[in-house]
Structures are given as structure tokens and as C-alpha cells.
Structure 1
Amino acid sequence: MSPTTIILIRHGETAWNAERRLQGHIDIALNDEGLRQASALAEALEGEHIDLIVSSDLQRAAQTADAVARTRSMPVQRDPLLRERCFGGFEGLLYAEIEQRFPVEFAAWQAREIDAPMPSGARVAETFRQFYQRAVAAIIQWGRAHPGQTLALVAHGGVLECAYRAALGLSLETPRDFPVLNASINRFHLLDGKLSLVSWGEVGHLQPRVLDELN
């Protein structure tokens, strides 16, 4: 049986990414740089065979997926299970503001206490373990539903982190010492319900084009 190929993509940049303001489930659009990244991503994938495009229903992911879909006249399915982690009362705040307002909860978050609760805000926060289980299950569910095909899933930094940890068998308590980049291409195989990593953090398509002296 041939594996399902999953191209896992992080959305392009938002203004809140640039200023280190925590988004979570708050629905923020791409900024101008994010739109440029989404366009470059679409161009980079143009020659690749893709059977299905799925994105988180948050607009930063949906806009990125739509850019990829436009170049190949494909529909995009939306799945709220591919959303970023819900951070409850942390959402909408700068990291420095979270540390100031919620020092105990911030310290537990930074120490990677995976079952530590966060304060509720407009929504009830997920623990990291709850989020990991949701995100990985969603990726595997899509892959199992389309065996042997190639899927492009457009999601969020936390979702990419979960997939990376699942594929490499990393403990959830270990630090995130690997890059999770906006508009990056990350490739996995899924076989017998198990993710394996093929490549990580492809961002060559995001570099400005270098023109030679005759252009």
C-alpha cells in the first residue's frame, strides 16, 4: 500500500505574527507580506500533483489555501479541527502582556506543563495535550480518508508543531527547538495511521527573486 502524502503548510504572516501578539482562535487576516508569501507558495506548488486542499476555517489559513487553490482551480474544504490552539484569556495579548497579567500561568506555559490550565477569555483554553490530540487526530483522519493521495493541509504553527512531534515521537514536554515558519512547506507520509516526516521547513520559495544583470 502506498502512503498518503500530506503537504502541511503554515499560513502566511499576519500583523499579529509580526508583533508577537497571540492569535489562537481570534480570526486575523494576512498582512501584505502574508499575501505575498501565499502567492509565492502557490507558485512553488504549481507543478505538484495535489488531490485535495483543506484548511483551517480561520481566515489567515483560508486565505493562504485559497491562493494555492486559485492556481489550479480547485475547491478548498474548511475544517475547524485544524485551527490553532485556543489560548483562552491569553488571546489578543502581546507575550510581554501575558507575562505581566498572568505570571503563574505564563510560567507554566513557558515550562511546557502540558496539562496546565490557562485562564478563560472569550473562549475556554485548551491544554497542550488536548490541542495535540485534536490536531494530530484531524491530520490522520484526513489522510486515512484519502489513502494513497496527496493532500495539502493549510493550518497554523501549533498544528505543524504537533505533527512534527507525532512523526518523530518527541515528548510533548520537550522544548520547541525546531523552526515553524510562516508559509513553509512541510512534507509527511501517513501509512497505517502513523505519520513520518519527509522534509521540514521548505521556505526557498519565499526569498526575493535574484535578477541577473541582464534582466
Structure 2
Amino acid sequence: MSRAPLYFVRHGETDWNAEGRLQGQRDTPLNRKGLAQAAEAGERLRGLLGEAVGTLPYLASPMERTRHTMEGLRRALGLDPAGYTIDPRLREIGFGAWEGLTWKDVRRSDPARSQARDRDRWGFCPPGEGAESYAMVAARVRPVLDALDRPTVIVAHGGVARAAMVALGTASTEEAPHLEILQGRILVFEAGTRRWA
């Protein structure tokens, strides 16, 4: 099936990103660097799309960090900051009881589950309410992607990007959980490929 190009933006940096903490579905604000990355993403989009930037649909996760990234990049493009749609299916993977911890904390406090995750990063679901595996995230994100019928800009999260890579056939379930998802850059999905811009 031929798909329209997708321009995926991971939210800008938060203090928890800088500290290596698992944010999951906790609402954390952008820090100063994250606000700058939002504007940078807008400039990159302008370079990719030119005048077409104002004609595309824009979708975002409902989390504060993604909404503020979306608003910052739209402001940088000279567009109405509020001119986008929120889709709750684009929220970040839930880390359950592990949210707020670093991976070092997790390995120290929950070594058995940490090792189980290392063996199956795609299928593993952390403990606690709201926790999800990447496979579960892919199941909720796939219908969003399948409904896109024209080029679209999405602002979401690292976990959602990994799920999208698998759903769009540009990464395997073994590869995707290990890939770095950059902030302030554009992940372009087009013609069955992915690239950073």
C-alpha cells in the first residue's frame, strides 16, 4: 500500500530527558533547550516543505511536552500555534511503576524484570498501572497511521516513533527499540523508507 509522506517530530527536551528519567505518561514541561528544539524543528520543516507547510494537517500527542513542541514549531513557521489536532492514541508508551526512574534505578531496584526487558524489548510490559509494551503502542498507533491520506506532520514521542517505524515497515521489532530518536530533527517516512532531516 502506498502511503503519503509522514513528517514525525519527537518533542523537545525536558529536564527528565536530560536526567535520563522515564517520562512515559507523566506530564513534564519542555526546558529551555526543548523550546529551542521546537523552533529548530519548525525551520527544518520549512526547508523540507517550503510553502506547503501551511497546507498540511498537524497532529500531536496530548502530553504537555508534545503540545508545546507543536506550538513552538508552528510559531516558527508563522502559523497559528493552536492550529493542530490532538490524538490521544499518540501519547507516549506507559512505563507504569518505572516512570520517574532512570534505567540505572530500574536495574538496581527490579533486576529480574529489567533482564526480562533486555531479552524482549518489543514485547515486554513493565509492572504497574498504565504500563505498556511497544507492541501495545504499535497496536494503538497503527490506526492513526492507516487513516492518513495525505502528507502529515506528527509531534509525539520516542516510543511512538519506534512503534511507527514497525507499523510502517521501516524497522523490525528487534531493531526499533534500540534506535535513537532525535529531538529537534524530522523523521521522514516516505515510499517505505525512513530518514532524518
- 1:85 corresponds in structure 2 to 93
Report the alpha carbon displacement of residue 153 of structure 1 after superposing the two structures with TM: 0.5
Report the alpha carbon displacement of residue 176 of structure 1 after superposing the two structures with TM: 3.9
Identity of aligned residues (%): 31
How does the TM-score come out when normalised to structure 1?
Answer: 0.79
**Which of residues 54, 63, 73 in structure 1 aligns to 2:59?**
54
Matches within 5 A, 1:123-202: 123-141=129-147, 143=148, 147=149, 149-168=150-169, 170-174=171-175, 176-189=177-190, 196-197=192-193, 199-202=194-197
Q: Is the 8 A contact 2:166 2:176 kept in 1?
A: no
Report the alpha carbon displacement of residue 77 of structure 1 after superposing the two structures with TM: 0.8
Paired residue total = 189
Larger radius of gyration: 1
Which one is further off, 73-82 or 31-40? 73-82
| Distance in 1 between residues matched to 2:184 and 2:36, nearest whole Å | 10
- 2:28 corresponds in structure 1 to 28
Which one is further off, 15-24 or 71-80? 71-80
| Distance in 2 between residues matched to 1:32 and 1:6, nearest whole Å | 27
**Which of residues 95, 103, 126 in structure 1 aligns to 2:111?**
103
| Distance in 1 between residues matched to 2:170 and 2:39, nearest whole Å | 33
Report the alpha carbon displacement of residue 3 of structure 1 after superposing the two structures with TM: 4.3
How does the TM-score come out when normalised to structure 2?
Answer: 0.85
- Alignment root-mean-square deviation, CA: 2.2
Per-residue CA distance 1:79-134 (angstroms, 9 max, x = gap): 111011001001111111111111111111222254333210xx321122111211
Q: Is the 8 A contact 1:115 1:129 kept in 2?
A: yes
Per-residue CA distance 1:163-199 (angstroms, 9 max, x = gap): 222333543234645331112201124xxxxx722x4
- 1:76 corresponds in structure 2 to 84
Partner secondary structure for residue 7 of structure 1: strand
Partner secondary structure for residue 168 of structure 1: coil
| Distance in 1 between residues matched to 2:72 and 2:175, nearest whole Å | 34
Higher strand residue share? 1
| Distance in 2 between residues matched to 1:41 and 1:113, nearest whole Å | 29
Matches within 5 A, 1:5-24: 5-24=5-24
Structure 1 residues 169 and 54: alpha-carbon distance in aligned structure 2, compared to 1, 3 A threshold: closer
Report the alpha carbon displacement of residue 9 of structure 1 after superposing the two structures with TM: 0.9
The amino acid that maps onto 2:60 is S
| Distance in 2 between residues matched to 1:95 and 1:2, nearest whole Å | 38
Report the alpha carbon displacement of residue 35 of structure 1 after superposing the two structures with TM: 0.4
The amino acid that maps onto 1:59 is E
